[in-house]
Chain A
Amino acid sequence: MRAMHGPVVRWEVIVAMVVIAAIFTWGQHRARAVGGTSLPERGARSLVWPVQSVLVGAGGATRDVVVAAYRGRSLVTENEELEARVRQLEADRLRMVSYYLENTAMRKKLGWAPLEPAPSVAARVIDWSSGQSRKRVAIEANRQLELGNIVRTEAGLVGRVIEAQGTRGTVMLLNDAESAVAARVLREDGDFGMVSVASEASENRVMLKMVPHSHKADLRVGDVLVSSGDGGVYPQGVPIGFIESVETSAVNVASITAYIRPFADFEHLDYVLVERRGE
């Protein structure tokens, strides 16, 4: 019989909630102005992110069981192929170890500093923001995250942590409209430039572009781009992608743009590596 009665409205309570919403909005604007996150947002995330973490884990396990049941037969063949591939990679790895030892010994003889890879921790992606211009993910690592941590995959650079909250944080991806990376071409005397998202990007188009600092830049299709370390936001030498095409402006021949296919697969980010900026 509830539907027959008109609702009893306590407007003072509704007004109080509107005031709370206004205060939260004001707090968010204030926090964003200084590059931070407001307290209500942090509280909301600390409620939702753990649940998301559980759901992502449970979803992965369920998917594994379903895939195993559905593709049991082909998985055996796939497993044999992968074992053969692992043996090949293990042989390659042993060869690389001998090169590494050789390289270390030579650097020592030359008096050069040892070249150590940055230590990194694995993190799981628990949230994907799929706005048109805001490309961000939330990650969960097994150590405290810090603002500015570098996020990458084995293949290449992914982005950096822009909001950290304990072991969880938000990562701004390279294809976010606000992202820019100082980069250089991986060649002797390779040119420098800024890499950002290509506004012309679509499903069938590369996602990033590089605008070189010099109008006489020598950019070639197939060139590999790495972070240059300029500005100190990203460390130098992290692979970004390769040049897929180079365009010169029809109205200004000095304007060169290289379109880049990134090494990291931004569409399938499940696990990433997190490095400290200084490491």
Chain B
Amino acid sequence: MAYLAYLILLVLLTAIERTWPGWLLIHDQGPELVVAAVVSIGLCGGPMAGCFAGLIGALLLGSVESAWLGGTFFAFMTLGTVVGLLRGALLAERAPMAALVTLAAIPVVEVIRLIFAAPPSPAPWVLPVLVAAPYSALLALPIFGLFRAVTGLLAPEP
């Protein structure tokens, strides 16, 4: 049931990311809500949930962006699984941690996607990432709260 809720929320967040209002863009760049969601699900639900979120998030975002799926799958699924594996050991299940991990994850995810589908000139790529990382980290706080509530409600501890 929790996985169905994750799926619905990922669809919603993908749509919000892709229709982010123009007046909220910073240097023509909006936040990467799907990455923040994958991090949050990994932190709340563990490696399996993180991997699932990476799979679904990459499929939704890659399809809507008409991007190549291979690099997106690799980046998002690795991120979700690794965050899930480090949960409880290195990463505390707290909102500030979700923001910090998102801040670090966005450049990593973008580098991986860049390697899989390199643009003609990578220089203009730097500024959007520098804007998107802190912007997404800020929004990771409410997103993490949302996923923690959903996980607590639908997948309670035994």
What residues of chain A have their CB less than 8 Å away from a CB belonging to chain B? 1-10, 13-14, 17-18, 20-22, 24-25, 28, 40-42, 44-45, 47-49, 51-52, 55-56, 59, 63, 126-134, 136, 138, 163, 170, 177, 199
Contact = CB atoms under 8 A, between A and B. Distances in A.
Interface in B65-92: 65-70, 73-74, 77, 81, 84-85, 87-89, 92
Closest 5 CB pairs of A and B: A44-B63, A51-B15, A21-B73, A41-B63, A7-B46
Interface of B: 11-12, 14-16, 18-19, 21, 28, 46-48, 51-52, 55, 58-60, 62-70, 73-74, 77, 81, 84-85, 87-89, 92-93, 119-121, 124-125, 157
User: B-side binding surface: helix, strand, loop or mixed?
Assistant: helix
29 contacts: A2-B93, A2-B157, A3-B88, A6-B89, A7-B87, A13-B48, A18-B51, A21-B55, A21-B74, A25-B69, A25-B70, A28-B70, A41-B62, A41-B69, A44-B60, A44-B62, A44-B64, A48-B18, A48-B60, A48-B64, A49-B64, A52-B15, A52-B64, A63-B21, A131-B65, A131-B67, A132-B121, A136-B66, A170-B66
A24 B73 contact: yes
A199 B120 CA distance: 10
Contacts, number: 117
B78 to A, nearest CB: 10
B19 A14 contact: no
